[in-house]
Structure 1
Amino acid sequence: MNWALLLAGSALTLGLAGPAQAQETETAKEERASGLDDIIVTARRREESLRDVPISVSAFSAEALEEKGTPDITGLQRSTPNLTIQVARGTNSTLTAFIRGIGQQDPLWGFEPGVGLYVDDVYIARPQGAVLDIFDIERIEVLRGPQGTLYGRNTIGGAVKYVTKKLGNEFTGKVRAEYGTYNELNLVGSVAIPLTDWLSVGGAVAWYNRDGYGENLHSGAETNNKDVLAARLSLEMTPVDNIFIRLAGDRTEDKSNINHGHRETFEPNSKQAVLPGKYDTMAGLGDDQKVVTQGVSLLGEWNVSDTLTLKSITAWRDGYTRGPGIDFDGTPQPFLDVAASGNVYKDHQFSQELQAQIETDRLQGIVGLYYMDATASGAFDTILGRGLIPEAALVPVVSAYTALTQLTTGSVDTRSFAIFGDFNYDITDRLKVSVGARWTRDKKTGEVFKANYFGTLGSPLLKPYVPVLPPPYNVPQILTDYSNDRTFEEFTPRVSLSFEASEQVNLYAAYARGFKSGGFDMRGDASATPATKDGYDSEIVDSYEIGLKGAFLDNSLRLNAALFYADYQGQQVTTQVAKVTPPPGVVSFVDNAGSSRIWGVEVEANAMMSRNLSANITLGYVNARFNEFLVYDMVSGTMVDVADSRVFQNTPEFTLSASVNAHGEVAGGWLTVQPAISFRSETHLFEIPIPAIDQGAYALVDLSVTWTTPDEKWRFGVFGRNLLDDRYRTGGYNFPLNAYAQSVIGFYGAPRTVRASVEYRF
């Protein structure tokens, strides 16, 4: 097959389309009312019961997520232990994800996530545009702990799997309309059409629109609004009984305004007070933004025999972000602005995976090859609008308001190749052993350019370029200009032992290694830290886990529990500090901080208390401590151990959730009422404790009510989230020096929202 023609012939990416969730039959209602259903997952790349998987996995069906009114994958944080998954600071659709203390907060091009995101087993390499809205899915799985064997690089914290449903050969569809607070209006429609008994097509369109939670009081624009349009298509073929082919794709456009955040401190230069509204700003950089992600995927499965299945997964994806940047100081003046225009962030990736799946009475497993070619690039100006120019470098300053711009631009190309295998063998009917391994080779090529432009607002590369001082004072001072490449290789094994204590109870012990390759700091200042040209090294995590999964009390109680310990080496930590000595600017470091140890507990319990009442409870505990944390001291020029003063970011010690599901027949239809509460203990936003922006403990209360008509074609729902209207930070920036306008910025999660929904299924 001509792959080039296939890829060029589609404007969409990644097969997300599927039919509407199958209508719930009377038999399904009875099963749900009489006991807890078995959960089928593909955590080990094959279908099996969740109870049999020696991995900590949380699984959420489409039906469960729809009944809760979960808007996107960040809602998983409310009911998954030891998970942080939320919108990245200063964005609307970029993802920040941490599992068990391991992840990556910085979404800059070139940095790799520590939690892998997969859509139908296609790896999403970049976090931009990765806050996936939840519609037309079969389920979502959250795999906790390193998944380096089957899922490869950059899954050292875990993986999130977005699983869609096959179209099938029946005509189905649905349309849904929602309206809520802040003039929220969502329209979603999907359809699956069988053209023949072996060929089906399907598609879905979703439009999400909402007014902002706050306002830019300087420009009058909305902040924290939503304007997203997504389209998905798929084509499925079964030309013969043992061959399945799916060509699928999607395109998403996010035109929501940039989120500049909220100033947390008084601004001494312009005498701007702290705004009372946590979603309000006075930013002067601009508001319009556009984020686009698109591509295509092709899946082919051939069931050669009852014991052998061959699979090919081919995918291409690209995206870009265009917008004003981030106004770090939150004022109309450019005291500290990160400005950009045009296509300032671009990425594309191509991946090919080949698998051979084997299944016999006692042996099940998979072997495969994986290849990925990905490139990401970008550019931005850091504008410092007040006099930071050293007097020795200029004639007497012509104005008390002197500007400096620091241009940062570059790209990173990644070529990754891997060989992997994972097998499970039944030693006896009750005792099973699972062994896997993966060899990965990443070659990265980085190009970085950084320069100071004195007396300018903006650089010549980006627009606008406004010289404040005449030549020769705006001649650039080059800080970084290099191209380099490095290769990272790692062997990541996995082994587990499972014992069925009874037909309904499984005990397991497991070891796994995770690997995140090194790279190059796109912000690196070679004049301050010459070693930035050499890049930074890989991260390695060795994880040990024991657990229990079982059903008790005649299948009315399901309990999953795990105790884990992780040895974390070479953690990549990004630090940005304000530099006031020549040359001025913001200096970035990416350090392999040293070593740490993480241990904790996870418990998930589901109980059917009566025919019409069930409850879900989760508990997560993480104890994470640095053994060594090395940072570069610019004064002494040496590495210094500061482990005693560092903490883990985005890792609350405790996460808890509880919900009740009350359901039964009302007016001939099916009524479901679900109150829920989720709790997170104190959370540090950076490795250095910062009281001004660190988030204290908080709890969120939600309530959902749905009613399905007797013919099961109509569903009505009302969903309330954060009903107590708590204000809680999900991110922040900290540049507290007076020369940087004491820029301390906080980004907040959604306030109280209520929306009503009506859905028709056919």
Structure 2
Amino acid sequence: MSQPKFRHSLLALAIASVVSLPAYAQDQQNNEENEMEGLERIEVTARRKTESLQEVPVSVSSFGAGDLDSIGAEDITELQQRIPNATIQVSRGTNSTLTAYIRGVGQQDPLWGFEPGVGVYIDDVYVARPQGAVLEVFDIERIEVLRGPQGTLYGKNTIGGALKYVTKELTGYDELAIQGTVGSFNQRDLKISGQTALSDNFFVGAAVATLQRDGFGEYRNTGEENYNKDLMTYRLSAKWLINDDMDLKFSYDNTEDESNSKGGHRLLASAVTGQEPYDNVYDSNTAMPVANIVETEGMSLTFNWDIDANWGFKSITAQREGYTDTNIDFNSTGEPIFMVPAIYEDEQFTQEFQLSYTNNDNFDFVGGVYYYDGEACGVFGTVLPLYLAAFGGVTVDNGGCVQTDSLAVYGQGNYELNDDWTLTLGGRYTKDEKEADVFRYTYLGVHYINRAGLATPYDPAQVRAEFGTPFAVNSEFTSGGDWSRFSPHVALNYQVNDDLMFYGSYSNGFKSGGVDMRADKSLNPTIDEPYDPEVVDTFEFGMKSELLDGRMRLNSAVFFSDYTDMQVTVQRVVEAGISSQVLNAGESTVKGFEVETVFAATDSLNFTAMLGYIDAEFDAVVYTEPATGETTDVTDAWSFQNTPELTYNIGFNQTFDLANGQLVWSGNYAFRDDTQMFEAPSPLDQDSYGLLNTSLMWYSNSGQWSVGLHGKNLTDEEYRVGGYNFGPTFGDDAVVAYYGDPRTVSLTVGYKF
């Protein structure tokens, strides 16, 4: 009974704090004898050009390297606490796979071939797959999060928004930085970065990080660590200043995550073993090896040419690839009941040519051509040793590849109608083609598909050669489709004065269609037909303001989104196995608002607040039961996944001047409302909760030394971030949950040469 009171008290405090800031500021101003400094200018590239955050008619949050360092941020998932209406979490069984939702749109299922709803970019290079997309925070300049459809400038699959990871720029100065961290659960991190100039016009840089941590729990039946971390990542870069107008930059990054696969926490007692749920939610059992690896690498070549004072040209050529080999024990009892070894592999090539024009009087434009060529492959075996035990068990092998080719042409211009009004018009035409090969075989007996056994495990011919003729062919087909879409954007902003702007915008975006790579035609004869893209039309009205002589920044937005053919992935246990479908779930609407503010109460004390509210609901959804063909209207029964109605964050940072440097004390409380994990209510759904964090950072007067003490989740909240809900499955209940980090404390020491 105390939780609702606590929740509403904090919400009231957050709103009261924001409302009372101007009055408090006026009192402070009257008491100050000297004029105070204003807030720092924040620059972003949300519209593919550098401009002030306050000039952009887009809902965008920006976090600089210093901001992230001061709170001890380890990876991009920590931004979830500071972004309204957003879910940015680690996905289920690994440390490196990302679940991202913004304004109700994202990708819950990281299966190969499924498209994300939030686009992830590393230095303007699109990252197509969620595997390896939990990017570590090191050697960066900033991270920008754009909310709402970004289809005009960033293309398909940014229907919910875009997350831009911007690495540190090479300057030619000699730099070397070392940072070490020790903390709870034997955390041992080391980050080293540096750069230098090999000549007057050729610069090189490198950064490497090794991140180690013991498990939050263990597999009790084997003694292996659960929720541990064993990751190494590095980046190499070079920049050639060809002349005063041209430069060429090369970048390469590599990440290897060898952390154990995560074991889920059973929410129900096992009917097979009698195992009750463990007291420690990070403890589990497994009947599988815990070896797990996620590897990603990418390289890019960016050419910039300032043609003249008005025209500019940019070329971005990039290639990325990833590989994942993991094991998922859905039952988590230690008995071999429901096991899934899986391999994912993907590669992509992208080329973008961009042309920009700036007329210093009243017009600027950016446009270009974008090409994407990608292949995503995967295979997993559903191993059921206790099912049909008379035959020594059953293995269902499911795999295949999907090839995607996409070509887009885009452009967006901003025209100043007069000193106060600016009109933005843009559009993007995209042509998408996909072809998928899918197989699903049932074998009697138990076997594991692995890289050592098969050179190309996604090739059905190799699977047949290795394991023989299947007992049953559930699926074996080639399917695909092509889609084209024009995504327009229009915005009108009114600059009331230098410190206040209002804007209204309309944006269209779409998430690509595709083929269900889990398709089982024996259960659903029409499953080989491709599902359609989902399309959104979003209207947004916002305000960007700086008040109190630049000491308070207050930005807000109200939005309304109309979705058509929204994609919902549904998996159901049926008598003959597990049926998967991707439904174009009729129509849905999403509306809400967002507020972000920062207030410099004094030269040394800042307050921050964020508030997000979202009302997301399906307007019309009909579900077809694959086993019987019966249809059910589930409009009122289904809800949006990973979309809490209310999110807010309140925080502060206080600076103390010391004889040998500065001490900065910061803290925040981040609240998330009730969250539904899947389209239908389940035992995995998470009640509302809040996280309390604090940090102490000391910076030496020389700027060389820094020491940070960071405490996160100080109240040791237990909160679910994902799970599997298969109910009574093959003789037992497979309802397992995965949890966010417990309370941790870390000490970081950094030195810059």
Query: What SS does structure 2 have at the residue aligned with 1:182?
Result: helix
1:478 to 447, 455, 473: 473
Task: Give the Cα–Cα distance (whole angstroms) in 2 for the partners of residues 632 and 603 of structure 1.
Answer: 40
Q: Is the 8 A contact 2:541 2:558 kept in 1?
A: yes
1:92 to 88, 92, 95: 95
**Corresponding position of 1:603:** 595
Task: Give the Cα–Cα distance (whole angstroms) in 2 for the partners of residues 347 and 295 of structure 1.
Answer: 12
Q: Aligned pair 1:155/2:150, yes or no?
A: no
Q: Aligned pair 1:574/2:569, yes or no?
A: yes
The one-letter amino acid of 1:637's match is G
Deviations 1:347-388 (A, max 9, x none): 00000000001111211110100001000101111112323x
Q: Aligned pair 1:369/2:364, yes or no?
A: no
Q: Is the 8 A contact 1:333 1:385 kept in 2?
A: no
Does 474-483 or 647-656 show the bigger shift? 474-483
The one-letter amino acid of 2:624's match is Y
* Unaligned runs of at least 5 residues, structure 2: 1-33, 458-466
The one-letter amino acid of 1:362's match is N
Query: What SS does structure 2 have at the residue aligned with 1:190?
Result: strand
Query: What SS does structure 1 have at the residue aligned with 2:667?
Result: strand
Task: Give the Cα–Cα distance (whole angstroms) in 1 for the partners of residues 453 and 330 of structure 2.
Answer: 18
Q: Aligned pair 1:713/2:724, yes or no?
A: no
**Corresponding position of 2:421:** 431
Deviations 1:475-514 (A, max 9, x none): 5200100012210110000000000011110100000001
The one-letter amino acid of 1:375's match is E
**Corresponding position of 1:22:** none
**Corresponding position of 1:20:** none
Q: Aligned pair 1:625/2:629, yes or no?
A: no
Task: Give the Cα–Cα distance (whole angstroms) in 1 for the partners of residues 440 and 173 of structure 2.
Answer: 57
Q: Is the 8 A contact 1:167 1:202 kept in 2?
A: yes
Trace 1:389-538 onto structure 2 (pairs within 5 A).
389=388, 398=390, 403-458=393-448, 475-538=470-533
Q: Is the 8 A contact 2:579 2:626 kept in 1?
A: no
Task: Give the Cα–Cα distance (whole angstroms) in 1 for the partners of residues 152 and 470 of structure 2.
Answer: 51
The one-letter amino acid of 1:660's match is F
Deviations 1:622-661 (A, max 9, x none): 0001001122223542543211100000000000001101
The one-letter amino acid of 2:219's match is N
Task: Give the Cα–Cα distance (whole angstroms) in 1 for the partners of residues 525 and 123 of structure 2.
Answer: 42
Q: Is the 8 A contact 1:91 1:258 kept in 2?
A: yes
* Unaligned runs of at least 5 residues, structure 1: 1-30, 390-396, 466-471
**Residue 90 of structure 1, CA deviation:** 1.4
2:332 to 330, 333, 351: 330
2:680 to 682, 688, 697: 688
**Corresponding position of 1:656:** 648
In structure 2, relative to structure 1, the CA distance for the partners of 1:302 and 1:398 (3 Å cut) is: closer
Deviations 1:496-536 (A, max 9, x none): 00000111101000000011110010101111112111111
Query: What SS does structure 1 have at the residue aligned with 2:78?
Result: helix
Deviations 1:656-690 (A, max 9, x none): 00110101311230110001110000000001011
Deviations 1:36-76 (A, max 9, x none): 11111000000011111111000111101100111100000
Task: Give the Cα–Cα distance (whole angstroms) in 1 for the partners of residues 123 and 424 of structure 2.
Answer: 24
**Corresponding position of 1:277:** 280
Query: What SS does structure 2 have at the residue aligned with 1:616?
Result: strand
Q: Is the 8 A contact 2:272 2:731 kept in 1?
A: no
**Corresponding position of 1:24:** none
Task: Give the Cα–Cα distance (whole angstroms) in 1 for the partners of residues 165 and 36 of structure 2.
Answer: 27
**Corresponding position of 1:737:** 728
Deviations 1:162-183 (A, max 9, x none): 1123211211121001100101
In structure 2, relative to structure 1, the CA distance for the partners of 1:162 and 1:33 (3 Å cut) is: farther
In structure 2, relative to structure 1, the CA distance for the partners of 1:192 and 1:456 (3 Å cut) is: closer
2:302 to 299, 302, 309: 299
2:548 to 548, 553, 563: 553
**Corresponding position of 1:5:** none
Trace 1:99-118 onto structure 2 (pairs within 5 A).
99-118=102-121
In structure 2, relative to structure 1, the CA distance for the partners of 1:474 and 1:347 (3 Å cut) is: closer
**Corresponding position of 1:45:** 48
**Corresponding position of 1:727:** 718
Task: Give the Cα–Cα distance (whole angstroms) in 2 for the partners of residues 59 and 33 of structure 1.
Answer: 24
Task: Give the Cα–Cα distance (whole angstroms) in 2 for the partners of residues 66 and 579 of structure 1.
Answer: 49
Task: Give the Cα–Cα distance (whole angstroms) in 1 for the partners of residues 352 and 224 of structure 2.
Answer: 45
**Corresponding position of 2:738:** 747
**Corresponding position of 2:344:** 345
Q: Is the 8 A contact 2:546 2:553 kept in 1?
A: yes
**Residue 456 of structure 1, CA deviation:** 3.5
Task: Give the Cα–Cα distance (whole angstroms) in 1 for the partners of residues 567 and 471 of structure 2.
Answer: 31
Task: Give the Cα–Cα distance (whole angstroms) in 1 for the partners of residues 179 and 447 of structure 2.
Answer: 47
The one-letter amino acid of 2:288's match is L
Q: Aligned pair 1:144/2:147, yes or no?
A: yes
Give the length in aligned residue pairs.
Answer: 708
In structure 2, relative to structure 1, the CA distance for the partners of 1:645 and 1:164 (3 Å cut) is: same
Q: Is the 8 A contact 1:268 1:738 kept in 2?
A: no
Identity of aligned residues (%): 43
1:703 to 673, 694, 704: 694
Query: What SS does structure 2 have at the residue aligned with 1:64?
Result: helix
Q: Aligned pair 1:209/2:212, yes or no?
A: yes
The one-letter amino acid of 2:500's match is V
In structure 2, relative to structure 1, the CA distance for the partners of 1:314 and 1:302 (3 Å cut) is: same
**Corresponding position of 2:664:** 672
Task: Give the Cα–Cα distance (whole angstroms) in 2 for the partners of residues 312 and 232 of structure 1.
Answer: 21
The one-letter amino acid of 1:254's match is D
Task: Give the Cα–Cα distance (whole angstroms) in 1 for the partners of residues 216 and 111 of structure 2.
Answer: 26
Task: Give the Cα–Cα distance (whole angstroms) in 1 for the partners of residues 716 and 63 of structure 2.
Answer: 26
**Residue 92 of structure 1, CA deviation:** 1.3
Task: Give the Cα–Cα distance (whole angstroms) in 2 for the partners of residues 33 and 231 of structure 1.
Answer: 41
Task: Give the Cα–Cα distance (whole angstroms) in 2 for the partners of residues 67 and 461 of structure 1.
Answer: 42
Q: Is the 8 A contact 1:453 1:459 kept in 2?
A: no
**Corresponding position of 1:11:** none
Q: Is the 8 A contact 1:525 1:532 kept in 2?
A: yes
**Residue 750 of structure 1, CA deviation:** 0.3
In structure 2, relative to structure 1, the CA distance for the partners of 1:33 and 1:280 (3 Å cut) is: farther
RMSD: 1.8
The one-letter amino acid of 2:377's match is S
In structure 2, relative to structure 1, the CA distance for the partners of 1:166 and 1:462 (3 Å cut) is: closer
Q: Is the 8 A contact 1:455 1:474 kept in 2?
A: no
**Residue 621 of structure 1, CA deviation:** 0.3
Trace 1:120-135 onto structure 2 (pairs within 5 A).
120-135=123-138
Deviations 1:108-145 (A, max 9, x none): 10001000000110000111001000011111100000
In structure 2, relative to structure 1, the CA distance for the partners of 1:484 and 1:398 (3 Å cut) is: closer
Deviations 1:241-280 (A, max 9, x none): 1111101111111000001211111001111121111011
Task: Give the Cα–Cα distance (whole angstroms) in 2 for the partners of residues 310 and 475 of structure 1.
Answer: 55
**Residue 458 of structure 1, CA deviation:** 4.5
The one-letter amino acid of 1:419's match is V
Does 447-456 or 170-179 show the bigger shift? 447-456
Q: Is the 8 A contact 1:621 1:653 kept in 2?
A: yes
Q: Aligned pair 1:385/2:385, yes or no?
A: yes
Query: What SS does structure 2 have at the residue aligned with 1:75?
Result: helix
Task: Give the Cα–Cα distance (whole angstroms) in 2 for the partners of residues 695 and 216 of structure 1.
Answer: 24
The one-letter amino acid of 2:121's match is Y
